[in-house]
Amino acid sequence: MSNFNGRGAKRLSEAFCGGRAFIPFFTCGFPDLETTAASVRAAAEAGADIIELGIPFSDPTAEGPVIQGANIRALAGGVTTDKIFSLVGTLRQDITTPFVFMTYSNVVFSYGADAFISRCRDVGIDGLILPDLPFEEKEEFLPLCRKYGVALVSLVAPTSEGRIAMIAREAEGFIYIVSSLGVTGVRHEITTDIGAIVSVIRQNTKVPCAVGFGIATPEQARRMASYADGVIVGSAVIKLLEKYGADAPGHVREYVREMKAAALSAGG
């Protein structure tokens, strides 16, 4: 088993030690960087175990309309990767919650992979999620992630089937289970057999796993957390920012508190 335990991987795995983890997602710069900062602080105060920060990209293939719209608006507002690194550096002055970046390979390539990943380490990013990076091509970034102690988080999708065991054996930090085929977005029902996927993962690694894509309500969080070690919520958080704008942080705080309690109530 090559469960490399760099600094970032260790911090991410430890975030699951207190029971089921809750991981909210924010698109950096939506609706603006100040609101992102206040909302991330609110989520940390409310007990988020890991915070996923999206670096906007002009063609976010894995995203549904809600997060796509947030990407477009953030970019139109002048957000850059450098501004996001500065934001994270500022947040790190008073937040110890593990952070992971979610973005696309192109963003890392265009910045310069070495410069990007070393800066992740410098500002206190613990992990990197690249949904468009096939497992077979992770060597593009893995040596640099190892060099700088940033976990390259693996994704497992319902289509992964025969590859789940292989992905699990090489995973670090945590494994992101994509609950449904298609793009991100709130779903009324998740029909994938998450239990079966988790079972294969647990036979092959001790690295924790969290389920994302389509989770919005406490009941969904409780159900998914009854299978996995944690839940990830994106579109539902972005909808709060869309609805309340600069007043969103208070609503984010309440939502994170409620979802965290629901996840914890599933056991663990």
Domain assignments of the chain as residue spans, ordered by start: 7-264
pLDDT value of residue 189? 57
Q: How confident is the model at residue 1 (pLDDT cuts 50, 70, 90)?
A: very low
Q: How confident is the model at residue 166 (pLDDT cuts 50, 70, 90)?
A: very high
Token output for 30:
């939506």
Query: Sign (positive/negative) of CA torsion 103, 30, 158, 221?
Result: positive
pLDDT tens sequence across 26-39:
999 999 999 999 99
In single-letter form, the type of residue at position 109 comes to F
DSSP reduced 3-state for 114: helix
Q: How confident is the model at residue 158 (pLDDT cuts 50, 70, 90)?
A: confident
Q: Mean per-residue pLDDT for 75-90?
A: 97
pLDDT tens sequence across 172-227:
999 999 987 654 444 455 557 889 999 999 999 999 999 998 899 999 999 999 99
pLDDT tens sequence across 230-250:
999 999 999 999 999 999 999
Indicate the class that CATH gives domain 7-264: alpha beta
Q: Above 60 in pLDDT, residue 133? A: yes
Cα 218 → chain centroid: 18
Arithmetic mean of pLDDT over the chain: 92
pLDDT value of residue 33? 98
| Peptide bond before residue 31 is cis, with ω within 30 degrees of 0 | yes
Beta-carbon contacts of 121 under 8 Å, excluding residues fewer than 6 positions away, are: 7, 8, 148, 149, 150
pLDDT value of residue 185? 47
Q: How confident is the model at residue 80 (pLDDT cuts 50, 70, 90)?
A: very high
44, 252 contact by CB (below 8 A): no
Edge-to-edge strands, sheet with 51-54: 151-152, 127-129, 99-102, 51-54, 21-27, 230-233, 209-212, 175-178, 154-156
Instruction: State the pTM of this model.
Output: 0.94
